[in-house]
Structure 1
Amino acid sequence: MQKYEQQVRELLEAIGGEENVDKATHCVTRLRFALKDESKVDSEKLESIDIVKGSFSTNGQFQVIIGQGTVDQVYREMVAMTDIGESSKDDVKSAGSKKMNPFQKAVKTLADIFIPILPAIVTAGLLLGLNNILTGEGIFFDEALIEVYPQWADMAEIINIIASAAFAFLPALIGWSAVRRFGGSDLLGIVLGLIMVHPDLLNAWAYADAQAAGDVPMWNLFGLEVEAIGYQGQVLPVLFASYILSKIELFLRKRVPDAIQLLVVAPVALLATGFITFVAIGPLTFALGNGITGGFVWLFDVLPALGGLVYGIMYAPLVITGMHHAFLAVDLQLTGTGDGTFLWPILALSNIAQGSAALAMMFVSRSENLKGLSGTSAVSAYLGVTEPAMFGVNIRYRYPFVCAIIGSAIAGTFISISGVLASAIGVGGIPAFLSIFPQDWVPFFIGMFIVLIVPFTLTYLYGKFVSKEKI
């Protein structure tokens, strides 16, 4: 008998039997299923299995949290015991996406585009945080550190160049990932992004001043006046342009003979997409993107308490649905302006709140398994990875999730009233302060104190004195 044979049999029975499984794969901690009918899942029976730490459904996939190391063994035994067979993550994603509605597919597409570039963005955010420490006034001295110790000035400049490169050439990163996602050649996506930030174009950050002064450079295309502007820090223009580029490329590849594809496909696709982008896509999406971010800016300027409260409440539920990826585009647009984002600090505090609620469960529970899971998942959340805490502990017992949201809402309201801004996207946990503008550290640390104490206290008190559930 294999080590987890009994648990695998129980797991399959709980998810509706082997015949209910279309595709199955696994990641570092979870089994991922594309099920034919998720209504057949018996969640209570599933989560009573000793190796199961939790379960949830997202983006057309039903995921069962097993744990690092163990999940690989469980998956191999399941494949050996059944006729399900091995599948790749893409196979499961493809099978799961067939059951998604158009809105869910759109959100999933955004996630597929932005997740691959997150390591570059987060790294840049952390380095910008280091630059903030060197150049920010009032942190160690009344003056900036580089003014007290001028020998550090050139080092700070080098760090700033390295850190800001990902944001300066953001359209190239997005173009690479988006064109690849839409089925085109990712190298052409990079070139498209670089075209959109070409130094001969008017920098997008100087556009408002140039427009006010009437100095916006123009192209005359056979009588059609087109603004010669770049799209630094913009998200929507390169997303739409990447879609057009990939479709033109795929169209040409099917019709152009192989012998001349190198001479025809890429030049024609880039030239056509470039014209369409500068004439139509760019101006329209530039205005749309600025309008969307302008709406958020207006809300947080005029009603900051409401904005912080709503986003503090909604962020964790958005993570469950995967819709939080849509707000990453807004964050990138806000940071691209150079003024900073007010959304990302709330995200960071929401992650910490989930960790605090999970940590409280370590003291509430009498189960050694749950104590271990709660402790390790809390540490993970404090470092910015909330999946183990949210799906393995908090959502599983419901009230820790609610208590975490309460703490996040209070902290989000407070830091929004205080006008806390992040210069970039970084690690969404306790190290997040590195990405916060130094002048906003004090209110951010107060918000961090709130999400450390409030969710922990509420979860502990409810679990110990109110909840009738014995865990």
Structure 2
Amino acid sequence: MEPMKIAQAVLAHLGGRDNLESAAHCATRLRLVVKDMTLVNVAAIENLDDVKGCFTTDGQFQIILGSGVVNKVYRHMTSEGEIQAATTSEVKRAAMKKLNPLQRLARTMSNVFVPIIPAIVASGLMMGTLGMAKTFQWVNGDSGLFMVMDMFANTAFVFLPVLVAFSAAKEFDANPFLAAALGGIMIHPALQNAWTLGGGIEKTIEVFGVSIGMVGYQGTVLPVLFAVWVMGGVERTVRRFVPNALDIIVTPFTTIVLTGLITLAAIGPAGRFLGNGISTTLALVYDQAGLLAGLLFGGLYSTIVITGVHHSFHAFEAELIKNVGRNFLLPIWSMANVAQGGAALAVYFKTRDEKIKAIAIPAATSCLLGITEAAIFGVNLRLGRPFIAAAIGGALGGAYVVFMKVGMTAVGLTGIPGLSIVQPASALHYLIGMALAFGGAFASVCLLGFKDANAEKETENERNLSA
């Protein structure tokens, strides 16, 4: 189907140009903010040639078209419908207005944390590789090369508050460089390193009658998020009262001094307490519930993905690495992702719908690489029962990795790439868990079956013709 015809059909099924509030696209999807979803004919859009699926998440109606095609369709859409092109960030801001407070909070944390994942993944990958090399004695742990690489591996976690602060500033409308400076204050060498807190706080000082523990926040996430949020408010308030001629001098100075003091005296300790509380609670559930925790988390994760709330988990995973020493949630999420691939592959063998067949194989493959959108929205959720089957597979794999205490050293990687950040001693169990998740989902689809809607229509048409 020609891109222009796809664009025209999409616009018509969306309820016309007047029903679109904003439109943008990413590498594979149209990202649309629709005024009234009741006017959208979702089934008709899904049945268009080259449309691999569509779904609603985070206030956006997204249509999966694939790389190359999406650019051409979007260009015709903006031309045909006289829609003003928007950036993905503009669409996200428009979509945020449609979310409830909990969804907005989750989306905010996602917007802050997702941009810094490459740095965390790189550090985690190096940490995992070095740990494996040392465990199996491939290298000398006292060698100069090992020590240098170990320094590289730790850097993103040591300076995590600076990275988080810079990213958070964009979300909280604060100066990113002032935010980075605030992150630097939180890990200043004059403060006790956070990794040594097991022995207690070594030094406390008094400022204006307030007792301040001289403790750093290396590896933490929540304290710096709160601090930058407060900084944004302080900066905007100060700027309202400062003459333009003095703004460049007075506003940064006042913002840093006030926010720095508030952070060390109140925000930091409160954020650390909250982070420790969340980590302790998760660890308690993990240890006490055991297999049940794996079953529940692995089975429900893909449902959480549909809501978009899963993006906020990265912050909690970083807190786990800091406070517990390993990320035990990500292996469970990985099992759920892989299970979606097993269900999609089973659909490929069972369906007679050629369009779904064309999506199922690449969708199943992408799940093994940690990307589940095509499988969830283009295949499994679309057919219903395969999504339930994937939940069963995710629960089985999740229970196994919890039972075997599989942990990871970073965030952001699942499926086969996740092997690079799995703790060396857990690598075999991680692979077994993936096999259980993938195979369990595949077998569950075969047992549960599903309604092959388009195939049924074709059969009905054949019967009518023969009659």
> TM-score range, shorter-chain basis?
over 0.9
Distance 1:71 1:78 in 2: 10
Do residues 385 (structure 1) and 371 (structure 2) align?
Answer: yes
Give the alignment of 1:241-260 within 5 angstroms: 241-260=227-246
- Alignment check: 8 A CA contact 1:126 1:427 kept: no
Distance 1:151 1:341 in 2: 24
Distance 2:170 2:375 in 1: 32
Q: 1:398 aligns with which of 368, 379, 384?
A: 384
1:447: how far off?
0.5
User: Normalization by structure 1: what TM-score?
Assistant: 0.92
Structure 1 stretches of at least 4 aligned residues deviating more than 4 Å after TM superposition: 460-463
1:84: how far off?
2.1
Give the alignment of 1:317-466 within 5 angstroms: 317-337=303-323, 339-463=325-449
Residue 156 of structure 1 is matched in structure 2 by: 146
1:152: how far off?
8.6
**Alignment CA distance shift 1:192-1:343 (3 Å):** same
Deviation track 1:232-276 (CA, whole Å, cap 9, x = no partner) reads: 121111000001112212222333233332322212111111100
Do residues 185 (structure 1) and 175 (structure 2) align?
Answer: yes
- Alignment check: 8 A CA contact 1:293 1:330 kept: yes
Residue 145 of structure 1 is matched in structure 2 by: 138
Residue identity opposite 1:337 in structure 2 = N
Residue 140 of structure 1 is matched in structure 2 by: none
1:326: how far off?
2.1
1:362: how far off?
2.6
1:338: how far off?
5.9
Residue identity opposite 2:312 in structure 1 = A
Residue 94 of structure 1 is matched in structure 2 by: 93
**Alignment CA distance shift 1:120-1:151 (3 Å):** closer
1:223: how far off?
3.4
* 336-345 vs 111-120, greater mean Cα deviation: 336-345
Give the alignment of 1:35-184 within 5 angstroms: 35-137=34-136, 144-146=137-139, 150=140, 153-184=143-174
Deviation track 1:335-379 (CA, whole Å, cap 9, x = no partner) reads: 123610110111122221122222233322344443332222222
Which consecutive unaligned segments of at least 5 residues does structure 1 have? 138-143
Distance 2:371 2:173 in 1: 30
For 1:145, what is the secondary structure of its paired residue?
Answer: coil
Do residues 203 (structure 1) and 188 (structure 2) align?
Answer: no
1:461: how far off?
4.9
Give identity over the alignment, percent: 37
For 1:127, what is the secondary structure of its paired residue?
Answer: helix
- Alignment check: 8 A CA contact 1:241 1:273 kept: yes
1:157: how far off?
2.4
Residue 221 of structure 1 is matched in structure 2 by: 207
**Alignment CA distance shift 1:371-1:152 (3 Å):** farther
* 372-381 vs 263-272, greater mean Cα deviation: 372-381
* 391-400 vs 235-244, greater mean Cα deviation: 391-400
Distance 2:34 2:454 in 1: 31
For 2:380, what is the secondary structure of its paired residue?
Answer: helix
Residue 30 of structure 2 is matched in structure 1 by: 31
1:16: how far off?
2.0
Distance 2:324 2:80 in 1: 56
User: Normalization by structure 2: what TM-score?
Assistant: 0.92
Give the alignment of 1:268-283 within 5 angstroms: 268-283=254-269
Residue identity opposite 1:13 in structure 2 = A
Distance 1:352 1:154 in 2: 39
Which consecutive unaligned segments of at least 5 residues does structure 2 have? 456-467
